[in-house]
Structure 1
Amino acid sequence: MNKKELRTIDITNFQTRDSTENGPVIITGYAAVFNSKTLIGDWFEEVISPGAFSKSISENGDIRALFNHNWDNVLGRTKNGTLRLEEDNRGLKFEVELPNTSLARDLAESMKRGDINQCSFGFFATGETWDYSAEPAVRTVTEVELYEISVVSIPAYEDTEVSLRSKEIDKSVEQRIKIINQIKGVLGNE
């Protein structure tokens, strides 16, 4: 029988984007980083393999983003598009559009101050290998059934990250893209 597990990760490069008049505050980061060992209790080390989340992301249509693994503190869901998940070469990347709630506003403020900058994820291991020749033993998780990611105050994995996205940076990028497109238009007409 598969056992429900939680992993918490340090996400010091967490990003948030301040809300605009028409848009929500957005946080982005990595809920898990591939090939990064972490000590689970004093019992074993654990590594998440690339591809461990891909099946779950494609098959589970309702993964949630929570605060501190609390199901009363839902920040977003894949089902309604407020949580977006993808695997890249680094790990499990996410983006959450925060709701306009006191919890989300408080979380964004704590993140701006740097008090909260870590992530975690809840899962059932559906594929794993063990190396008992190492001390402590090493568990390599090859596939999971992911049911939630969480922004947390204490991580298990130190390599995770989460941050607010700055609307000033987003505006700057938008302006640069407009300038590049204008230049392309001028060069294309010659």
Structure 2
Amino acid sequence: MKQVHKETRYLKAEQLEVRSGAEGEETRTVTGYVVRFNQRSSLIWGEFYEKVAKGAFARSLQENTIKALWDHKSNFVLGSTKNQTLRLWEDTIGLRFELDLPNNTWGNDAYESIRRGDVDGVSFGFNVRKDAWTFLSEDDVYERTLVDVNLFEVSPTPFPAYPDSEVNQRSIEAMPIESREQRRLKKEKLLFELDLLAI
């Protein structure tokens, strides 16, 4: 059975907005895009670029209860699609969200940090159901397109949520690509064999 890895991606939000409710209302809503479709990421782990295809979240939006967490911490839940305090939908640009923050300690902290601009990114946690890989020979890297992902959480967060380098290497080894190091060794072996043939 194929092991499924949790992956997270961080994106600096271009327009993470905070709205307060009308006079006398306590609702504070954060809005923005979790991810924009078909926009190439920065280089991940030095091995590949990534982009998300339109429709990649459609199945999750129909089937899953998705949580909004404060900086990926499951004990600091900010909202949920189950009770509509988190609303997610795909439009022509990307996966958009609206999040009504709770009136508790971490909800108040999130509101203030986002309002001040200290927290200006959104990260999302997912498993890959279907992806497509293309080798970009001119850049000597791959480009991964996420076609269908199992989305289970989104998080306003101040920092990228990539795992440490040891986990990165294990993650790359589990992917259906050759690392740069593997390609380098293969090329060296081929050149050595060509040298032997020339003797």
Q: CA deviation at 1:12?
A: 3.3
* Whole-angstrom distance in 1 between the partners of 2:26 and 2:116: 22
Secondary structure of 2:92's aligned partner: coil
Aligned with 2:30: secondary structure? Answer: strand
Query: Which of the two has higher C-alpha Rg?
Result: 2
Cα separation, 2, equivalents of 1:56 and 1:154: 25
Counterpart-to-counterpart distance in 2, 1:108 and 1:132 = 42
Where in structure 1 do 4 or more consecutive aligned residues deviate above 3 Å?
none
Query: Which residue, out of 150, 160, 164, partners 1:145?
Result: 150
CA distance in 1, matches of 2:67, 2:114: 19
For the pair 1:106 / 2:146, whether they are aligned, the reply is no
| TM alignment of 1:52-63, pairs within 5 A | 52-60=56-64, 62-63=65-66
**Aligned to 2:147, what secondary structure does the other structure show?**
strand
Structure 1 letter corresponding to 2:37: F
> Which secondary structure state, in structure 2, belongs to the residue aligned with residue 111 of structure 1?
helix
Match of 1:26 in 2: 29
* Alignment correspondent of 2:50: 46
| Residues 134-183 of structure 1, C-alpha deviations (whole Å, 9 max, x = no match) | 42111110000100011010247xxxxxxxxxxxxxxxxxxxxxxxxxxx
**What amino acid is aligned across from residue 146 of structure 1 in structure 2?**
L
Q: Which residue of 2 aligns with 1:76?
A: 79
Residues 76-126 of structure 1 deviation map (CA, whole Å, 9 limit, x = unaligned): 000111000000011110001100011111111111211111101100010
Aligned to 1:136: 141
1:133 deviates by 3.5
Percent sequence identity over aligned pairs: 39
Structure 1: state its 5+ residue gaps. Answer: 157-190
The alignment's C-alpha RMSD in Å is 1.3
Q: Does 2:123 correspond to 1:120?
A: yes
Letter in 2 for 1:137: Y
Letter in 1 for 2:47: W
> 1:153-164, aligned counterparts within 5 Å?
153-155=158-160
Separation (CA, whole Å) in 2 of partners of 1:71 and 1:122? 12
Aligned residues between the structures: 155
8 Å Cα contact 1:47/1:141 also seen in 2? yes
Amino acid in structure 2 at the alignment position of 1:44 = F
| Structure 2 residue ranges without an equivalent (≥5) | 162-199
* Highest RCO, 1 vs 2 (Cα 8 Å, sep ≥ 6): 1
